[in-house]
Amino acid sequence: LAKFGAKPMQFAALGLLLANLVAWAAALPAILKPVERIGALLGLVLAGAAIGSIDLLGFSELWCGLLLSLALALRLHRPERWWPVVLAVGIALAIRELALPFALLGAAFALWQRRWRELAAWGLLLALFAGGLVLHAQAVMAEIRPGDIVSPGWSAGQGLRGLLTALAYTTVWQQAPLPWAMLACLIPALGWLALSGRGAPFALLLLGGYALMLALFARPDNFYWGFVLLPAWFIGYALIPRALGQLVRAITAPPR
């Protein structure tokens, strides 16, 4: 941010958000009804409002989340066209190691579906990441001194509250009273659970995995990890009517 300046970085973030809108608009027709598609795009805009704050652009998680959301849309749109997905995740991984679960899940699905070229691409990306991590660790170890402050680690185990507060503090809901903000951030999860179709398993495992990661490992001061789930998380708002319909049908269906 300091190197490139605030305005160019803000335009870059806006460009990524617009790319998300285009990619999700292309991915959603095969999944959702027209009114749900409109609601989903509005959810993306709502979640992407953070790019309007210059201060928030300094969080690498914000950029990582925009790239991962874009990668998810590209995968849902055309799963067989894997290279843009690998590229987007690779850039996200270069920015923040929190993108690693997406790469691991992508590799696992490629292996399960016997997509060998895609698996090789994910393997190469993971190998490059591992090599870079080793070099980074060596550089850090060379600078460590006996009196340095030790990190408290990332095993806070906050549970659902940790996930919801992270999402609340990284979205427009931070202006609302915290209990209501947490409820507003829980609702999209219920919507996502109603998703069906060939891309649903990947999307649900990805978002659920990241939600679990925040619940288990994020400290209270790691609220900015919530950006990793955004803006895709808020697409779940558009799926709430579908989720409620499925719930009503399940409750009222006659026993078999």
Statement: residue 5 has pLDDT above 80: no
Q: Determine the pLDDT at residue 152.
A: 81
Q: Which pLDDT tens digit goes with each residue over 194-238? A: 998 889 999 999 999 999 999 999 999 999 999 999 999 999 999
pTM of the predicted model as reported, rounded to 2 decimal places: 0.94
Q: Rounded to whole angstroms, how far apart are CA atoms 119 and 82?
A: 10
Q: How crowded is residue 53: how many other Cβ atoms within 10 Å of its Cβ? A: 12
User: Shortest CA distance to 228 belongs to which of 239, 220, 218?
Assistant: 218
CA–CA distance, 43 with 196 (Å, rounded to integer): 19
Q: Is the pLDDT of residue 61 over 70?
A: yes
Confidence of residue 1 (pLDDT cuts 50, 70, 90): low
CB-neighbour burial class of residue 204 (10 A; exposed 0-12, middle 13-18, buried 19+): middle
